[in-house]
Structure formats: structure tokens, C-alpha cells
Structure 1
Amino acid sequence: MKRRRKLRWILPAAVLLAVLVLVGAAVARRTPTVRVAEVRQPLPGEQQTELSASGYVDSRRRSVIAPLIAGQLVEVTVEEGEAVRQGQVIARLDDRDARVVFDRAQAAVRSSEAQLAATEAQAVNAERTTQRTRNLARQGVIPRAQLQDVETAGRATQETLNQARAQLAVARRASEAARLQLAHTVVRAPFDGTVSKKLANEGAVLAPAALTGTNLGGIVELVDLHALEVEAEVSEEQLSRIHPGQPALIFLDALPERAFPGTATTVRPAIDRSKATATVLVRFQSVPQGALPDMGAKVSFLRQPLPPEALDAHGQPPRVPASAVVRDAEGSAVWVVRDGRLVRQPVLVGERVGDELSLKQGPGAGTQVVVAPDPKRMHDGRRVKVESGGG
């Protein structure tokens, strides 16, 4: 009886123990989730940075080039990416109507000049006649009334001469206007620059005052690549920390490995209501090769200028969060996540900078390492999941 009672307790206990062993094994095999951060390369001037802002590259001279008159485009002489000089011909409009108007105006000038010459000759003759008549009248050869008639005719001739001179002036002004209209059929570059966009092709009918349409009257967009600057957006509460002439570092998204010195030049006196930001213009000290308008950029406004040797980001060791470095009997190390598995990698740490440690030896920038690793869950080769939003 006692034996049966004993077996009755042993069997459930064995089953429970087996279940606990199976659950423990399943828990042990479960893939843990870890939080990661990337080993990063510190940016130049971090310790001297007053504040940072994002923006875009633009040019102080950037224009859509359009004709001053309406007309049909018959030739575009430049292509996108081509460098042009000030005064270089960019395009030509159909000039047939303008040329007819100019020729007519020139003919009117010649006609007015001939009319003026004839009137001047008549005026000279009238003046001589008036002088002779006055002499004869003084001698009593002719009556006074005849002298009055001759003087009246002379004054009329002088008025005709004045009219001829005025008509010639009007004809010359009209000719000048026609000449300008003809000149406007040739579109020239207003400054040295590079064609960034071609907006119209031969056959397009352009109107400079157009408010609709695909090209808005433009032929090309011209950009001066030697006058680039960054338009950085700074929140309004931070504006008091920016002043003209303040040194800055510019980081281009397209050239992430380099820092370019710059200077804050202007704070635009307007606030964007929707974003509560103001635009600060930051000029390159020397425009870098490869920089283009509309490139993304980040700007670090500095407390003081940096020496040239401090601009090299590769001159500083990479950094990791201090919580990622573990110290045990084997020394200092970090747990690297590589292809979804843990790899223990020894490191040689340098100075502490804020919440980070510099690495004299260890993984390179961009490597994912586990933050605040749990020693009980860290094993070489163990598969892990990266926490969503980590790194």
C-alpha cells in the first residue's frame, strides 16, 4: 500500500521535471534580442561645436535665363554641364520679324535725314532772302509790307526745320528700339557659370511673362559653381548663438569623409512659420571640387576656428558607447554582431569623451556592437536578433 502511494507521487514529479527540463532547453535555445550601436568616426571640431544644423548647397548666382522678348526658339548653343562665359551666346530666337522692323526703322531714319537736309537748305536760302529784303527795305527800294511777308516765310521755314529735326530724333529712337528688339533675339550669358538644366529646345515658343507652361519662358538654368554656399536652417531659439563671421565646418552628404571650413555670413531676417526656423548662409572658404547645388549638407558652428590639421576625420580614433565595452579576465572587448551572430572582439581603449570611449585598436567605423551586453547571454557564435530601431 505504501509502495503504491509512493509511486503515485514519483510519477507526477518525474513528468514535471521532464517538462521543466524541456522548457529550460527551449528557453536556452531561444534567440535573444540585443540593442546595438555603430562604431563611429568622430567629426572634426566636435568639441568646439556651438550647435549643428542641416541645409542644402546653393549658389549666390543662380538664374533661369530667358529672352527679354517673346519668340520662337530656333537654336540652343549649349548643353547641360557646359561651362559658359559672360556674354557668350546661349540661344537664338526667330529674328525675321524683328529684322523687318529694324530695316523699316533704318529706312525711316534715312528718309528723315534727307528731309532734314532739304529743309536746312531751304532755311539757309530763306535766311539769305530775308537779309537781302531787309537791306532793300532800308534803302527804300521795296515797301515795308513786302519785308514782313518775307520774314514770315522765313519763320515758317525755321519751324519746318525744327519739325524735321524732331522727326529725325523720333526716327532714330525708333531705330534704336528696333535694334534692341533685334539684339534681344540673341540670348547671352549674363555671368560666368555652368548650365545646370536645359529647359527648352528648338521650336519652343517662349514668352518672358508666362505664368504657366513647362518652361516658364526659360531656356537654361545657369549656376556659378564658384559662388557656392550652404543655406542652413537654425531653430529660432538658437539664433542668438549665431553671428556673422562665426567659423563653421561644412559636411557634404556626397563627400562624407571630408570637412570644409566655412564662415557664417548672413542670417536672413525672416522666420519660417511652419518650421520655426531661420536660414543662415554659410560661405565656403574655398569651394570644394565636386560640390553642386542642392546637395545635402550639415553645418557645425564653432566657438573658434580649427587649425588645418584638425579637419581630417581619419586623424581621430573611432569611438563606441562606453557601455558597449566589457572587461573580464581576458581583457577589454566588445561584442560585434556579424551576420546575425555574436563575435567577441578584443579592443584597446583610449580616452573617454563624454559617454564614449575612443578605440586605439578594435572594430572599424560602421561596425555594429552590442550596447550594455548581458554576460549570461553573450556567447561566441550565438545567433541574436537586433532590437528594432537600434543602431
Structure 2
Amino acid sequence: MLAACNDRPAAGAAASAPAPASAALAASAPGTGHGAVAEDGSAGSHPGASPLAVARGRIEVQGGLLRLSPLQDGQVDALLVQEGQAVRRGQLLLRLSGTAAQAETGVAQAELQLAEARVSARSQHLPALRRTAARLAEASAAGAAEPQRADDAAQALRDAEAELAVARAEAGVARQRLAQVRGQQARLELRAPEDGTVVRVATQVGQRLLAAAGDHAPLTLLPRRPLLVRAEVNESYAGALRAGLRATVTTDGDATPLALPAARVVRISPVLGTARLQEDAQRGPLRVVECVLEFDHPPTDARPGQTVRVVFHR
């Protein structure tokens, strides 16, 4: 026997007769077909399992929509995508004006070239200095040259090697400086973090953007990830939920209901919240527990944000 939660007594029974505790799992969403077990059991019937209850839910993409903002403030120089466009990971979406960054890059490249030229020049002197120092050292040991000349040649070699080491260090610093400037220039570019579809463009060429845009991000991306259902279950019956519970899902709206693939409960929230899918606001806020369901296979006719009706089964 399926127990209804619409406060109407069953035909032929006293209004005060209690329903068995094991008869149904009450759903969270109020209104027709919500917060009550399906009266005829036909909506969302599941082979081999009796319906427990219905709940309202919403289709979401795993992880949610991605709100994208540049890593630094700047003026939009190029907008390369439009709403509804599919993009690939790493694709350039937006570029900020980089006149100053380009100038800094040019200076850093020139500094690196100068440092590398110093390294090359000092490296060319070393072979001759090494030969001279070795020859004078041998001559001094044989008594054919003054020891002072050998000492001077050895000191000149040490000085040249020290200068070469300094030049190489300067070249390393210049190289790091160029990499840093190029990194700053890359911050002017906004690229897709993963495959998806651009669902909102909230900027235009010439507009100044802030890095910390928050909810006012210039671009919103729908990532290409699996869809799931987030359903709301009344707190009084949340204890009957369990991972693995089977359910059927149908669209819920003005259009004709459309059956979606079967789903199963994979996560149950440990905290209570206020119902967001409530139809009858006059009943006051409802305390609910959210549960997440995954489809057995990807639905082809579902969209993120779509309201659905979830029928749980034993």
C-alpha cells in the first residue's frame, strides 16, 4: 500500500488512520505530484520495484557551470567566441590589451641577447688564457720564465673564469626575467580550461574587466561533463534514503513530461537546507535534504537547469 502525503484521507478510510511507516518515502517538493507518493503508481514505474515516493529535482552538470575571468585587470582587445559556440580545451576565448606587456617583452628579450653576447665574448678568451697560463707554468717550473709571469697568467685566467661565471648568471637572470614577462603576457589571455560550450558572453571589445569578477564573469562555460540530478527530500523522511536507491526521472514543466534514463542515488547531503524547488510558497519554507542521482547512461533530451520529477523505488 502506498501512503499519500497530500493530507487527504484515502477513500473508504478514516482521516485519522495512520499510514504504515514502511509504506512510502515522502518527497520534499510540494504541489501536485510532489511531496506525495504517486497515487496510481504508474508515473515513473520501474520494472521489478514498487514506487516509494516522488520528489522534485533539477538537472545539473557535474561540478556546475564555469565562470571565467582573466587573471588580471584590463581592457578587452579581442573577443573570439559567442554564445552557443563549442570550444576545446586551451582555445583562446578572450584577449586583453597588451601594449605595455609587449614593450616589456621587447626590453627583456634585448637584455637577454646582451647577456648572452657577454657570455659568448668571455668564453672565446678562455682557451687562449688557459694555453698561456699552462705554457708559463711549465716554463717557470723549468726555470725558463720568471715565476711572476706564470702567477700573473694564472691570475688572469682566474679573473676571466670569474667574469664568465658572472656573465652566465646575468644571462640566467635575463632569461628568467623574459619568462616572467611572457607569463604576465599570457595572463592577458583567457583560454578554455576544458571542452565545453559557451553559454553566456557578458562583455564586449573595449570594456574594462576586473580579475575578481565573481558572479559578473565575462564568460560562462558549460563543461562537457556528465549530467546529474539534485533532488530535495523532506527532512522527516531523509532517513529512508540510501546510496544505490533506484529512481526514474521525467521532465517537469508546462510541456508534456518526457521520460529520461533511469538513475540511482550516489550521494546524500549530511546537512539540512531550505527547499529551492518549492511550488507553493504559501506553505512556508520546507527543510530538506539534498541527494544527488547519476543517470545509468547520458540523457539526450535533458538540459542543465531543467526541473524534473524523481520517483524513488524500493
TM-score bracket for this pair, using the shorter chain length = 0.7 to 0.9
In structure 2, the partner of 1:294 is 305
Name stretches of at least 5 consecutive residues in structure 1 with no aligned partner.
Answer: 1-36, 304-391
**Which one of 81, 85, 89 corresponds to residue 84 of structure 2?**
81
Q: 1:159 to 1:277 in 2, by over 3 A?
A: farther
In structure 2, the partner of 1:233 is 232
Q: 1:126 to 1:237 in 2, by over 3 A?
A: farther
Tell me, yes or no, if the aligned pair for 1:56 and 1:294 is still in contact at 8 Å.
yes
**Which one of 41, 59, 62 corresponds to residue 60 of structure 1?**
62
- Report the alpha carbon displacement of residue 227 of structure 1 after superposing the two structures with TM: 2.1
3-state SS of paired residue (2:94): strand
> After superposition, where does 1:1-391 map in structure 2 within 5 Å?
42-45=42-45, 48-61=50-63, 62-210=65-213, 215=216, 218-224=217-223, 226-236=225-235, 238-254=237-253, 256-260=256-260, 261-272=262-273, 276-303=287-314
Q: Deviations over 1:318-337 (max 9, x none)?
A: xxxxxxxxxxxxxxxxxxxx
52-61 or 263-272, which moves further after superposition? 263-272
Q: 1:155 to 1:237 in 2, by over 3 A?
A: farther
Q: Distance in 2 between matches of 1:81 and 1:268?
A: 33
| Amino acid paired to 1:280 | C
Q: Deviations over 1:243-298 (max 9, x none)?
A: 33332212222465222211222234544389654332212233333422222223
Q: Distance in 1 between matches of 2:67 and 2:41?
A: 40
In structure 1, the partner of 2:282 is none
Q: Distance in 1 between matches of 2:173 and 2:88?
A: 36
TM-score, scaled relative to structure 2 = 0.73
| Amino acid paired to 2:313 | L
Calculate percent identity across the aligned residue pairs: 27
Q: Distance in 1 between matches of 2:312 and 2:132?
A: 88
In structure 1, the partner of 2:7 is none
| Amino acid paired to 2:242 | H
3-state SS of paired residue (2:258): strand
For the aligned residue pairs, the C-alpha RMSD in angstroms reads: 2.9
Tell me, yes or no, if the aligned pair for 1:226 and 1:287 is still in contact at 8 Å.
no
Give 1 or 2: higher strand fraction: 1
3-state SS of paired residue (2:66): strand
3-state SS of paired residue (1:257): coil
Q: Deviations over 1:120-175 (max 9, x none)?
A: 12333332222122112111123333333332332222122112112212211222
- Report the alpha carbon displacement of residue 64 of structure 1 after superposing the two structures with TM: 0.8
Structure number with greater Rg is 1
- Report the alpha carbon displacement of residue 235 of structure 1 after superposing the two structures with TM: 4.1
3-state SS of paired residue (2:273): coil
Q: Distance in 2 between matches of 1:239 and 1:125?
A: 86
Q: 1:40 to 1:81 in 2, by over 3 A?
A: farther
Q: Distance in 1 between matches of 2:243 and 2:286?
A: 22
